[in-house]
Amino acid sequence: MPRSLLILFLMTAQFVGLAQDKPNPNEYVEEKPVLMRQEATGGLNIHSAGWGIQFRRAQNITVSRKRLYEADFVGIKHPKEVKSVNQAFERARSYVYGKLNTFSVLRAGTGMQHVIFSKAERNGIEVRLSYSGGISAGILKPVYLNILEPTGTFGEFRVITERYDPERHFVDNIYERAPFTEGLGQIRFRPGAYAKIGFNFEYATAFEDVKALEIGAIIDAFPKEIPIMAYAKNEPVFLTFYITFMYGRKW
């Protein structure tokens, strides 16, 4: 082959190769979504001993693994709590007979979240495993009741507000529960710890949104029993099962 033809052949081959590498403007090319590194969600927590709220931040470590930072505030009821009403008064507020303190828990902790199945594998639902742990601050607020006190005149009573005392207050002299603000100045704190594990189902259609349902279990443990009820056994450890509805954003 003459040298001039060889040079022409090589130039033609190079041109064809460049033409093949150049994208066709009419051809659809699927763009891969940008990896979102941050996530923030808030939600309503419904559990086997009450309800509460949750806030969570997540940071991507890898495509399938996240670091979690979370805070929960929940109320916890004793399993023996039963509401009562003074039937002699039509508009009397309900109360829980024998309840010494209302009990709430403020949790703050950290954990991890792993993707088990991506949305492509589960028809638009991403399944994640979450586990976390940290501190639990138990909050005890004493229960106050409106009490019927005899005036000295037969058949007449006046209403006074007192902290519930199981030695003096019974169903025949309890009128109703007092306003929630009563007892706020006597709040006590109990330090403890918690551990949580759950399955998170994320189903948002928009890539930047977070809509998820999380189902799992939590253990809160305290050094001493928590005095919630007067006529029942009080425990230092609480095992609850929860469902959390979560909404938020990624960026």
Residue 21, pLDDT score: 47
The predicted-structure confidence for 163-207, as pLDDT tens digits, reads as follows: 999 999 999 999 999 999 999 999 999 999 999 999 999 999 988
The predicted-structure confidence for 126-162, as pLDDT tens digits, reads as follows: 999 999 999 999 999 999 999 999 998 888 999 999 9
pTM of the model: 0.83
Q: What is the mean pLDDT of residues 101-125?
A: 92
Residue 24, pLDDT score: 54
* CA 107-99-78 angle, 5° bins: 50
> What fold is seen in the domain 38-79+101-140+180-250?
Porin (2.40.160)
Residue 33, pLDDT score: 53
Q: Is the pLDDT of residue 119 over 90?
A: no
Residue 170, pLDDT score: 96
Ramachandran category for residue 50: left, alpha or beta (phi over 0 → left; psi -120 to 50 → alpha): left
